[in-house]
A = this chain, B = another copy of it.
């Protein structure tokens, strides 16, 4: 990389199953000069998120597919190097959505200035950003948890799950997490105050789940999908709410995901299941950030990040999401 080039990762071809380095290629490109109204940003933290896998397919979804040959876009926190807008100055820390690049030139109005005194700036990608907001709106608006109810969350140790569980505790619920290792289970219960957590890889998980939900399940916040979700749905109480936030178990499947159809279960229990994306709440993001920041200041909400170093580790960190390597928000820090 010369002084005038940056690194970026493009979608070289659409993956079948788990993406490879053939699909996601690192390329160098010149850094353009920022024009009028534009800003040159140097990336500090790059976000890798499960939803990006869906965008790599050529299929209608809640966000348009990535175009082959183009840079993978997504959240980034960076520092302004040069600015041609009055609103931003060199040295400002900003949130952008320009994706997997070391540098980018973007319109100033596509960047949001971050106040580094509220919390570490990386939280703009996590607890005070997309994943925190996803947990906030999904749980509160769709899940509607009430004091004393049982909330189960899958992918509980992930960026969204850790926040869902903590908000459910704030709301006075019994919170049960589902995660993929003993360490995660311990973390959820001991560090985050979950009432119970189970390791879905254990043979008796079904019995563990039932034991952890002696009064059934009122809210299921599903980040994962697949068989473990079938087992949670079997425990739904009357008028339960199922929040479908993600289906990470399925994103790399090459065959259709088949299992028991759950309409009967929803019918028997008069329960509701709803999918959503943060875009559905575009008009309410400030409300969410304000409430999350307030809880954070009060010490009622903590966060964890799994940070790997170096641009060349973006793809491995992204793939690690699907093998459950992260606890909390997965980020890549650039030098």
| Partner-B contacts on A (CB < 8 A) | 60-62, 222, 225-226, 229, 238-239, 244-247, 250, 256-277, 280
With beta carbons under 8 angstroms apart, the residue of B257, B264, B276 that contacts A270 is B276
Given A272-B273, A272-B274, A273-B274 in contact, is the A62-B260 Cβ separation under 8 Å?
no
What are 17 A-B pairs with beta-carbon distances under 8 A? A62-B268, A62-B270, A225-B264, A229-B263, A239-B280, A246-B267, A247-B267, A250-B264, A257-B261, A258-B260, A259-B261, A262-B262, A263-B273, A266-B274, A267-B276, A270-B280, A271-B275
Given A256-B260, A261-B225, A261-B257 in contact, is the A62-B274 Cβ separation under 8 Å?
no
A193 to B233, CA, bound (A): 39
Smallest Cβ distance from A71 to chain B, in angstroms? 23
A246 to B263, CA, bound (A): 9
Smallest Cβ distance from A204 to chain B, in angstroms? 21
Chain B residue numbers with a CB within 8 Å of A267 are 62, 244-247, 275-277
Chain B residue numbers with a CB within 8 Å of A260 are 256-258
B268 and A61 within 8 A (CB) = yes
A257 to B265, CA, bound (A): 11
Chain B residue numbers with a CB within 8 Å of A262 are 261-262
Smallest Cβ distance from A236 to chain B, in angstroms? 10
What 7 pairs between A and B have smallest CB-CB spacing? A266-B275, A267-B275, A272-B274, A259-B261, A244-B263, A257-B261, A244-B267
Chain B residue numbers with a CB within 8 Å of A265 are 275
A268 to B280, CA, bound (A): 12
Chain B residue numbers with a CB within 8 Å of A274 are 266, 270-273
Given A258-B258, A269-B275, A270-B62 in contact, is the A222-B263 Cβ separation under 8 Å?
yes
Smallest Cβ distance from A58 to chain B, in angstroms? 14
Chain B residue numbers with a CB within 8 Å of A226 are 261
Chain B residue numbers with a CB within 8 Å of A250 are 264
A266 to B275, CA, bound (A): 5
Chain B residue numbers with a CB within 8 Å of A256 are 260
Chain B residue numbers with a CB within 8 Å of A275 are 263, 265-272
A62 to B269, CA, bound (A): 6
Smallest Cβ distance from A171 to chain B, in angstroms? 21
- Chain B residue at smallest Cβ distance from A60: B268
Smallest Cβ distance from A270 to chain B, in angstroms? 5
Smallest Cβ distance from A245 to chain B, in angstroms? 8
A270 to B278, CA, bound (A): 10
Smallest Cβ distance from A254 to chain B, in angstroms? 14
Chain B residue numbers with a CB within 8 Å of A61 are 268
Smallest Cβ distance from A38 to chain B, in angstroms? 33
A40 to B250, CA, bound (A): 60
Smallest Cβ distance from A224 to chain B, in angstroms? 10
- Chain B residue at smallest Cβ distance from A51: B267
A277 to B189, CA, bound (A): 37
Chain B residue numbers with a CB within 8 Å of A269 are 62, 275
